[in-house]
Chain A
Amino acid sequence: MIRTLLVALLLTVASAGTQAADLQSFGRGSWSKLRAAHDGQPTVVHFWGLTCAPCLVEMPEWGKLRAERPDMKLVMVAADPVPQDPARVTDILARADLARVENWAFTDRFNERLRYEIDPAWAGELPRTLLIDRDGKETVLTGVADLAEVRAWLDAQKNR
């Protein structure tokens, strides 16, 4: 019981993040850890890239959605094919007011492997959004996400 509570509190602390951007290194095996940490919770995972122009255009919209839905479990993964300077990644996140969400960045150049662990058929195109429900079922939104669809999905999770 105490342990469960502790884990719940831990996750709250981890996702709320009280300090500046805490960028985690996404490498081999990170995806299964990330999924396990969010097991049973509806989670939005947004893959973006510093080298992806439409991602940078879209980013502030995610910041707004985050402000509007503070209870949303949002995970941002910078999935550039060539690992980027973390200082620049956190800078872009901070500008979109997304520094305090759960942030990850690809740091392994073996991009094929990281993508394969997430989805074998993902060719690496960005942006890409995964809506993962309580049962672990994934809905993939490729390209710039229709945030109305994300909102509707979030509402549907509450009503389940």
Chain B
Amino acid sequence: MRGLLVLAALLLFAGTAVAQHKHVKPAASTPEAFTATPAFGPDGTLWLVRAMADRIVVVRSTDLGKTFSEPVAVTPEPTNLDWGPDARARIVVDPRGGLVVTFAIFQDRNFNGRAFYARSKDNGASFAKPAPITADATSQRFETATVDPATGRVFATWLDKRNGPKARAAGKPYPGAALAFAWEDGEAGFGPTSIALDNACECCRLGVAFAGPGKPAVVFRNIFPGSVRDHGVVTFRDEKTPGPVRRVSADDWKIEACPHHGPSIAILPDGSYHVAWFTNGSARKGLFYARADNGDTPFGAPRALSTAKRQPARPYLLANGPALHLVWKEFDGNKSTVRWQMSQDSGRQWSEPRTVADTDDASDHPLLVAHAGRAYLSWLTKADGYRLIPLEGQP
């Protein structure tokens, strides 16, 4: 009897295993990059760079995202794209209409990256073979290119691990990665790489805004003493000289890991700084926003966006003239929603949060983009594909 029961149980188990569980087939899937990043050209063309599993393509739209051109390949062959949750292929359009795409690949299984850029000189009809953004091959990730609106020069910044092996060879620990930068050097690509600072948190996206000509401001998750991974802003004094780290908030998130959840920054014409970020610190948990009057004053008290139980995540800020827009993603139990707020008084008062889009499957981070005075939500979802959604009720 006992033997029979065991046999029955085994048979039953075998049956249940097939019926109830979708077992994972070995090598059935590999992680995939899934992002869409927009940029408007001076003529109103919407350029979109897509990271699609193992390739990067660019498409364009001349009707605000209703229809798109056939994709143009940036990566000539399938490649091991950086699929990290905060990684993103990006595109910038310089004032002459030149296009620069940036993206990173994984070099190995230890998440060492290699950042590339590819330029188009024929208005997006083709892209030159991607070239490394820097000569050092150790590791670069979270490359972020931005056009200096005053000079038209492209600024690139990224997280770079070149100083880690040297430190460790000398018997010193080296947590995180360096914040590196380079400026476009005419047709030759990017000029020499400089290190702004060491030991930033290594897996979070960076945010960049311009405080003035040749003065990018970079927000990043820093590693403060005691492995506290809170945010800092570095504003450049000139193209070559990064200023000191200004802490955005003392959240006291002590963690020996990187949370793959980076910040966003905007600077308004009045010189005020605006930062939104995620933290799980002992001082506060969730999504927050803070402002500072200018590049020197401390940031004000953080304002909570939503509540932790709605998983608020992936904030994004955009200055559109004097208007400031803020979006983030949250989850209501069934759907991911994009929540939007706007401020017209330099971030002191905000409109009530409104849901501007939702989806019931996986989605990319919500992004904001503006052209001709109008701001748009740019969002890629599994269910609906890419959408450019005008934010209504703007002045």
**A85 interface residue per 8 A CB criterion:** yes
Contacts of A125 in B (CB 8 A): 255, 257, 259, 280
For the complex formed, measure the closest distance between the CB of B345 and the CB atoms of chain A, giving whole angstroms: 31
CB within 8 Å of B: which of A82-134?
A: 82-90, 105, 107-113, 115-116, 120-121, 123-126
Known: A10-B16, A110-B361, A125-B280. A85 touches B30 (CB 8 A): yes
Question: B313, A123: Cβ atoms under 8 Å?
Answer: yes
For the complex formed, measure the closest distance between the CB of A79 and the CB atoms of chain B, giving whole angstroms: 12
Question: B308, A121: Cβ atoms under 8 Å?
Answer: yes
Contacts of B32 in A (CB 8 A): 82
For the complex formed, measure the closest distance between the CB of B89 and the CB atoms of chain A, giving whole angstroms: 15
**A14 interface residue per 8 A CB criterion:** yes
CB within 8 Å of A: which of B13-55?
A: 13, 16-17, 20-32, 34
Most interface-central of A86, A121, A123 (chain B CB within 10 A): A123
- Among A82, A120, A123, the residue within 8 A (CB) of B84 is A82
Binary B-proximity of A38-81 (CB < 8 A = 1, otherwise 0) = 00000000000001111000000000000000000000000011
Question: A13, B10: Cβ atoms under 8 Å?
Answer: yes
Question: B23, A9: Cβ atoms under 8 Å?
Answer: no
**Separation of A123 and B111 alpha carbons in the complex (Å):** 22
Question: B5, A24: Cβ atoms under 8 Å?
Answer: no
**Separation of A110 and B31 alpha carbons in the complex (Å):** 13
Contacts of B111 in A (CB 8 A): 51
Known: A6-B12, A10-B13, A123-B278. A25 touches B84 (CB 8 A): no
For the complex formed, measure the closest distance between the CB of A56 and the CB atoms of chain B, giving whole angstroms: 11
**Separation of A123 and B308 alpha carbons in the complex (Å):** 8
Question: B256, A54: Cβ atoms under 8 Å?
Answer: yes
**Separation of A121 and B261 alpha carbons in the complex (Å):** 16
Contacts of A90 in B (CB 8 A): 26
Contacts of A23 in B (CB 8 A): 23-24
**Separation of A124 and B22 alpha carbons in the complex (Å):** 23
**B348 interface residue per 8 A CB criterion:** no
Interface size on B, residues (CB 8 A): 50
Known: A6-B12, A13-B13, A123-B313. A87 touches B257 (CB 8 A): no
**A136 interface residue per 8 A CB criterion:** no
Question: B5, A111: Cβ atoms under 8 Å?
Answer: no
**Separation of A144 and B334 alpha carbons in the complex (Å):** 30
Most interface-central of B24, B25, B30, B309 (chain A CB within 10 A): B24
Known: A82-B31, A112-B331, A121-B309. A24 touches B10 (CB 8 A): no
Contacts of A54 in B (CB 8 A): 256-257
Contacts of B362 in A (CB 8 A): 108-111
**Separation of A143 and B256 alpha carbons in the complex (Å):** 9
Question: B308, A25: Cβ atoms under 8 Å?
Answer: no
**A2 interface residue per 8 A CB criterion:** yes
Contacts of B361 in A (CB 8 A): 109-110
Question: A6, B5: Cβ atoms under 8 Å?
Answer: yes
- Among B12, B25, B331, the residue within 8 A (CB) of A10 is B12
Question: B24, A81: Cβ atoms under 8 Å?
Answer: no
Contacts of A144 in B (CB 8 A): 256
- Among A22, A113, A126, the residue within 8 A (CB) of B331 is A113
Question: B22, A25: Cβ atoms under 8 Å?
Answer: yes
Contacts of B12 in A (CB 8 A): 6, 10
For the complex formed, measure the closest distance between the CB of B31 and the CB atoms of chain A, giving whole angstroms: 4
For the complex formed, measure the closest distance between the CB of A115 and the CB atoms of chain B, giving whole angstroms: 7
CB within 8 Å of B: which of A6-31?
A: 6, 9-10, 13-14, 22-25, 27
Contacts of A107 in B (CB 8 A): 22, 24, 29
Contacts of B9 in A (CB 8 A): 6, 9-10, 13
Binary A-proximity of B317-340 (CB < 8 A = 1, otherwise 0) = 000000000000101011010000
For the complex formed, measure the closest distance between the CB of A87 and the CB atoms of chain B, giving whole angstroms: 5
Contacts of B16 in A (CB 8 A): 10
**Separation of A23 and B21 alpha carbons in the complex (Å):** 10
**B120 interface residue per 8 A CB criterion:** no
For the complex formed, measure the closest distance between the CB of A120 and the CB atoms of chain B, giving whole angstroms: 5
The 8 nearest A-B residue pairs measured at CB: A9-B9, A109-B362, A86-B24, A112-B331, A25-B22, A82-B31, A23-B24, A110-B362
Residues of chain B whose beta carbon lies under 8 Å from any beta carbon of chain A: 5-6, 8-10, 12-13, 16-17, 20-32, 34, 83-85, 109, 111, 255-257, 259-261, 278, 280, 285, 308-311, 313, 329, 331, 333-334, 336, 361-362, 382
Jot down 5 A-B pairs with beta carbons below 8 A, ordered by A: A13-B9, A82-B84, A84-B31, A121-B311, A123-B261
Residues of chain A whose beta carbon lies under 8 Å from any beta carbon of chain B: 2, 5-6, 9-10, 13-14, 22-25, 27, 33, 51-54, 80-90, 105, 107-113, 115-116, 120-121, 123-126, 143-144
